[in-house]
Amino acid sequence: MALTGIQIYKLLPQTNCKECDFPTCLAFAMKLAAKQVELAKCPYVSDESAAQLAEAASPPVRPITIKSNGQEVKGGNEVVLFRHNKRFVSPPGLFIRVYDDMSPDDIKAKVKPVGDYVVDYVGMDLTMGGIAVQARGGDFGAAVAAVKEVTKLPLILIGSPDEIKQGLDKLGKDETPLLCSANADNWEAMAALAKDFDAPLAIEAGNIDDMAALVEKLEGKDLKDFILAPKQRTLLGTLTANTTMRRMALKENFSLLGFPIINFPGDVGDKVKEVSLAMQAIGKYASFIVLDHFDAATAYSLLVLRANLYTDPQEPIQVTPGIYEINNPGPEDPFLVTTNFSITYFSVANEVESMGLPIWLLVTDSEGMSVLTAWAAGKFDAEIIAKDAKRFKADEKVKKKRIVLPGHTAVLSGELEEELPDWEVKVGPKEAVDIPAYLKEAL
Ligand code: SF4
């Protein structure tokens, strides 16, 4: 598990020779602790220290993957409590739960739309993570088999060791499900199962002390891949449990809690509460989230929330600058111009595309900024627009040269006319939603 800067410093030669390009060994140690430099930059570390320092390279939250037929959900590898400090790394997987006392047809009917669900969000495909199968007095093996008939998504298997074994027997060799859960009563049998099938194991406990004690016992069984499953089910209880465990892993280097977390919003039974819990779980440290209800609108909301939290706040989501053809434009159709911030691009493109209007869309290089931000930062002005229009040969696409500025940058129209004297420069609406009406009425 990760070491602190001071712990690392004690293992360094402490000669301050500067060959690592840092003024002191302590400065190097701090950077190493923050994972901003490679240990290899110091040529004088002893083999013994290097072996201990290898720990510093391991993430404080152990990465765990569950997978099936090439599809996988990864948890862990996180290094910060707050997204603005760096970034969150592993987007949580959303799992829809079925029960083994449901009929195979009902299971398939519930699972199929989950597996088929995919929606494009600013160029990213948003999909569900997988299916959870829970024992409830039915035929667990038959339930898993029914799920496998209609989807290849990864699985979470929830039940007693004997029930889970029935499910595991239905899976192929390349499938790694999550086994759920080891507790104070069954941990030895669950440990044996996890070892036999080389699968990660969820550990259920009601408080931090019990959780750490169970992890320690299971590590004694030569297991390493765990998911922490707090027993709490309320908003406050789950928030407190998740935050405490993650804080202890990241801030205290407490290795017994340095694992991804699973939450069960579906356990509350009420759909509205379930969604509230799921939203909290996405924001506060769950890697695997088990839901009982699935519908496209709720899934979209949760997945967009996830996408927004698990992108790098220092890296705007961008599209490639260039000329985009929307609805097969011809030489008589106009150019719209916008920036290469993904959300700006897709706002414009989606409005025009959905109305079936043919246009050319010139996307300038604004370093991923939205229109007003780019304009204020000097990344979206008449000179840049004209330069990109020429760079991408816009004039070769059309006979009737018309270019439409975003309404918020009307002030650029005079300068753009000077930069592009052959073009008719127009000012469009301020909001993307008004573009279709503008195109129909004004052009
Ligand atoms: Fe210290 Fe090694 Fe850097 Fe020299 S190269 S200053 S010994 S960390």
Q: Is the CB of 22 under 6 A from ligand 1?
A: yes
Closest CA to 255 of 91, 56, 83, 80: 56
Closest ligand 1 atom to 28 CA: 8
Q: Which of 10, 22, 36 gets mutated to test ligand 1 (max ligand atoms within 8 A of its CB)?
A: 22
Q: Is the CB of 18 under 6 A from ligand 1?
A: yes
Q: Is it the case that residue 256 has pLDDT exceeding 60?
A: yes
CA 249 / ligand 1 centre spacing (Å): 28
For the stretch 296-335, pLDDT in tens is 999 999 999 999 999 888 877 888 999 999 999 999 999 9
Phi/psi at 266 (nearest 5 deg)? Answer: -60, -20
For 73, the 3-state DSSP assignment is strand
Closest ligand 1 atom to 29 CA: 8
At 338, the pLDDT band (50, 70, 90 cuts) reads very high
Nearest-CA residue for ligand 1 atom 2 is 42
The per-residue pLDDT for 358 is 93
CA 251 / ligand 1 centre spacing (Å): 26
Q: Is it the case that residue 1 has pLDDT exceeding 60?
A: no
The per-residue pLDDT for 443 is 65
pTM value? 0.78
* Buried/exposed code over 363-388 (b: 16+ C-beta within 10 A; e: otherwise): bbbbebbbbebbbeeebbbbebbbeb
Nearest-CA residue for ligand 1 atom 4 is 17
CA 14 / ligand 1 centre spacing (Å): 7
What is the average per-residue pLDDT within 399-426?
94
Nearest-CA residue for ligand 1 atom 1 is 25
Q: Which of 8, 9, 18 gets mutated to test ligand 1 (max ligand atoms within 8 A of its CB)?
A: 18
CA 77 / ligand 1 centre spacing (Å): 27
Query: Lowest-pLDDT range, 24-33, 49-58, 211-220?
Result: 49-58
DSSP summary character for residue 318: B
Closest ligand 1 atom to 21 CA: 3
At 440, the pLDDT band (50, 70, 90 cuts) reads confident
Q: Is the CB of 38 under 6 A from ligand 1?
A: no
For 262, the 3-state DSSP assignment is strand
What is the average per-residue pLDDT within 341-369?
91
Q: Is the CB of 50 under 6 A from ligand 1?
A: no
Name beta bridge partners: 322.
363
Assess contact for 427 and 442: CB atoms under 8 A. Answer: no
CA 51 / ligand 1 centre spacing (Å): 17
Assess contact for 179 and 171: CB atoms under 8 A. Answer: no
For the stretch 135-174, pLDDT in tens is 999 999 999 999 999 999 999 999 999 999 999 999 988 8
The per-residue pLDDT for 57 is 65
What is the average per-residue pLDDT within 241-247?
97
Q: What is the DSSP string of 341-398?
A: BHHHHHHHHHHHHHTT--EEEEEE--TT--HHHHHHTTSSSHHHHHHHHHHTTGGGT-
The per-residue pLDDT for 280 is 98
Nearest-CA residue for ligand 1 atom 8 is 25
The per-residue pLDDT for 42 is 92
For the stretch 233-243, pLDDT in tens is 999 999 999 99
Q: Is the CB of 400 under 6 A from ligand 1?
A: no
Q: Could you tell me which residue, 346 or 97, shows the higher pLDDT?
A: 97
For 160, the 3-state DSSP assignment is coil
CA 31 / ligand 1 centre spacing (Å): 12
For the stretch 385-398, pLDDT in tens is 999 999 999 999 99
Cα 36 to Cα 45: distance, rounded to the nearest angstrom: 18
Assess contact for 90 and 100: CB atoms under 8 A. Answer: no
The per-residue pLDDT for 315 is 78
The per-residue pLDDT for 66 is 96
Q: Is the CB of 42 under 6 A from ligand 1?
A: yes
The per-residue pLDDT for 39 is 86
Q: Is the CB of 281 under 6 A from ligand 1?
A: no
The per-residue pLDDT for 173 is 86
Query: Lowest-pLDDT range, 27-41, 165-179, 326-340?
Result: 27-41
Q: Is it the case that residue 56 has pLDDT exceeding 90?
A: no
For the stretch 64-74, pLDDT in tens is 999 998 899 99
For the stretch 84-124, pLDDT in tens is 888 999 999 999 999 999 999 999 999 999 999 999 887 78
Helix 271-283, helix 296-309: angle, nearest 10: 20
The per-residue pLDDT for 314 is 80
Domains of the chain, each with CATH number or no CATH: 5-57 (1.10.15.40), 64-309 (3.20.20.20), 322-442 (3.40.50.11600)
Q: Is the CB of 17 under 6 A from ligand 1?
A: yes
On average, the pLDDT of the chain sits at 93
Closest ligand 1 atom to 41 CA: 5
